[in-house]
Structure 1
Amino acid sequence: MRSFIQQLSIYTSLIFSLFGALSSNAQEYPSKPITIIVPFSVGGGVDTVARLLGEKLKDSLGQSIIVDNKPGGSGMIGALAVVKANPDGYTLLLGSAGETAINPFVYKTKMQYSPSKDLAPISLITKIPNVLIVNAYSPFKTIGDIVTFAKNNPGKLSYSSSGVGNPQHLNGELLDELAGTEMIHVPYKGAAGQIIDVTSGNVDMTFVSYSGAKNFIESGRVRAIAFTSAKRQDFSPNVPTISEYKPLQSYELENWFGLFAPANTPEPILQKINLEVTKALRDPALVKKLREQGGQPAPMTTQQFNEFIKKESLIYARVVEKAKITAD
């Protein structure tokens, strides 16, 4: 009996020591610069958001924030680098919906990591609705015009995106599904090409982030038809949503950017980062800059973000399966 009590006392001491160490780590964190890996090129939407957020976190956490761009593999090269990093809170991922939620359904066995198992969600940063645009001289003025033409002319209407299986591609497939149409998907390797070919008339329309299309819209080279979000956007309130067209009232599919850490990062550190991110995303100056990038700041608790990803993943999985999207 005495031996059992002694063992129990040892185990109890170990548990308290562990919690004490974790608490101490969180209090001392960060004690050196933090790296935010961006799985896309410099100058893109994710990169811009990472740098804006990094400036705020540098001030609140008292450490330098290094943005490290690791593009390629549809975002998976950068994400994998974070998965393999030491789970101590000093290497984070500013990722999009693609490499953290959609790709497992598109690439399947080709994936070298499992986002749900290998990444720890910290917070949603911003929701990024895409906007459907057409050439300025296109006969299409509304989403109703597009649906009517597509129904009467199956296989003749084309839309571009910046790659197979990304949110823009899924936007088109969801439109096909809900409208009962059959459009042609034309994938590109970036926003520049997909928009230029709309302005030149090589492609009928495209789904793209508002920041990517803003200069083209304001210069009159393209026409904004509708956003893919459920509600209109403050930064462009005159552009309707696809869901405002009654036959497509259930339409909603947005891209989003979120902050992640490697799995097994101590919970107190995750919570400390989440707290500072939430504070940053409530700063009016940062909110203004994020909206200028075509996004809506949307801070969440770690648990809320985890549930958000699960819910979004169900939508992505259904669209991918229905459209039979593969990476081949």
Structure 2
Amino acid sequence: MVLIKILLGSLVAAVSHAGVAQTTAYPSSPITVVVPFAPGGSVDVAARIVMPRLAERLKQPIVVENVVGASGTIATQRVIRAKPDGYTLLFAVASPVTVAPLVSPNTFKYDGLKELLPIAPVASSAFVLIARPTLAVDSADALVKLARSQPGKLNYGTDGVGTSLHITAEMIKQMAAIDIMHVPYKSGPQVLTELAGGQIDLAVLPVGLAQNFIRDNKVKALGVTSQARWEGLPNVPSLSETAEFKSMNVDSWQGLMAPAHTDAAIVDRIARELAAVHADPELKRKLADAGFAPMDMAPAAFATYLAREKQMLSTVINTAGIRMD
């Protein structure tokens, strides 16, 4: 009996040691990071700025793979189904992870915050409320007054129904109690072109996409959605500087997520290395040039942030009655 106990104890110790060795050896082969949108878009740009630096820290290649379709939900569901070994990660954003199941629960039957594991945010960007050059307003306050005097006559463009841009615009409407009609397009660049040409009145778009048009006075910037002014557009006020939008604080995040049940040691390793990447001044400069800022959170804090955001989004979606099913 004593001999059996000794042998069992040795076996357990060996298995335990093997598990530790396997975890500490991560990564031992290339990692695939799935980007849920096309090459050249703002999400892809952020991924291709940051992932090479993370690969250097992890000492393994990171393959950025663009999986396009269904507003990012195809890529998201692919990673949900992937083996939870740390070698397939999602370069996540809110639209497919959180928003899609809220606006289309009968179509997208997954819970992005339960079936994916938050690792860490990678970068953030604000959205910006912009107007056509000929619209007779130069501030968010003036827009509120104009919209209230002409309910239902103004319109705004976004990249589609149920997207993060659409929901942010609906939040602006709800905060100011104004009636503005939504005009959905297929992409943000299309919205920007139409707005600069005067075909629509307003738009809510990512700062990174709109900033050159703003600097060249091709559109009017009425306010960014972040609580503070955006560093790359210091002359553009935050919407929170206007009374109706005092509590406005919306940032567009990009982050790494893994399939649920991925080993916590792997998640912590990636998060630590990403934090080190964010400390690089050159990386910060490249992100700023593209309209982004580094966003640092530990895995647990990132999970809490996403849960709070989901609750806020759910409230806006339900109030606006946004459904696509």
User: TM-score if structure 1 supplies the norm length?
Assistant: 0.93
Q: Report matched runs for 1:24-39 at 5 Å.
A: 24-39=21-36
What does the per-residue CA deviation read over 1:282-321, in whole Å, with 9 as the maximum and x for residues that have no partner? Answer: 1111111112222221111110110010011111010000
Contact 1:23 1:268 in 2 (8 A): no
Q: What CA distance in whole angstroms lies between the structure 2 residues aligned with 1:135 and 1:10?
A: 77
What does the per-residue CA deviation read over 1:56-85, in whole Å, with 9 as the maximum and x for residues that have no partner? Answer: 012111111110000111110111111111
| Most deviating of 107-116 and 137-146 | 107-116
**1:109 match: secondary structure:** coil
Contact 1:80 1:112 in 2 (8 A): no
Contact 1:160 1:186 in 2 (8 A): yes
User: CA 1:109/1:10 → structure 2, altered by over 3 Å: closer, same or farther?
Assistant: farther
- Which residue identity does 1:75 align to in structure 2? G
Q: What's the counterpart of residue 277 of structure 1? A: 274
Q: What's the counterpart of residue 200 of structure 1? A: 197
Unaligned runs of 5+ in 1: none
Q: What CA distance in whole angstroms lies between the structure 2 residues aligned with 1:129 and 1:310?
A: 19
Matched positions, count? 325
Contact 1:179 1:247 in 2 (8 A): yes
Q: What CA distance in whole angstroms lies between the structure 2 residues aligned with 1:139 and 1:77?
A: 42
Q: What's the CA shift for 1:236?
A: 1.2
| Equivalent in 111, 115, 118 of residue 118 of structure 1 | 115
What does the per-residue CA deviation read over 1:146-165, in whole Å, with 9 as the maximum and x for residues that have no partner? Answer: 11111111111101111111
Q: What's the counterpart of residue 41 of structure 1? A: 38
**1:185 match: secondary structure:** strand
What does the per-residue CA deviation read over 1:167-207, in whole Å, with 9 as the maximum and x for residues that have no partner? Answer: 21112111111111111011111111111111121110101
Identity %: 33
- Which residue identity does 1:101 align to in structure 2? T
1:166 aligns with 2:163: yes
4+ runs of 1 displaced by more than 2 Å? Answer: 4-23
User: TM-score if structure 2 supplies the norm length?
Assistant: 0.94
Q: CA RMSD in A?
A: 2.1
Q: What's the CA shift for 1:11?
A: 8.8
**2:145 match: secondary structure:** helix
Contact 1:127 1:256 in 2 (8 A): yes
Q: What's the counterpart of residue 249 of structure 2? A: 252
Q: What CA distance in whole angstroms lies between the structure 1 residues aligned with 2:130 and 2:240?
A: 16
| Equivalent in 170, 177, 182 of residue 180 of structure 1 | 177
Q: What CA distance in whole angstroms lies between the structure 2 residues aligned with 1:5 and 1:153?
A: 88
- Which residue identity does 2:43 align to in structure 1? V
1:312 aligns with 2:309: yes
Q: Report matched runs for 1:1-328 at 5 Å.
A: 19-328=16-325
What does the per-residue CA deviation read over 1:75-105, in whole Å, with 9 as the maximum and x for residues that have no partner? Answer: 1011111111111111110011111222221
Unaligned runs of 5+ in 2: none
Q: What CA distance in whole angstroms lies between the structure 1 residues aligned with 2:177 and 2:320?
A: 12
Contact 2:125 2:208 in 1 (8 A): no
Contact 2:239 2:248 in 1 (8 A): yes
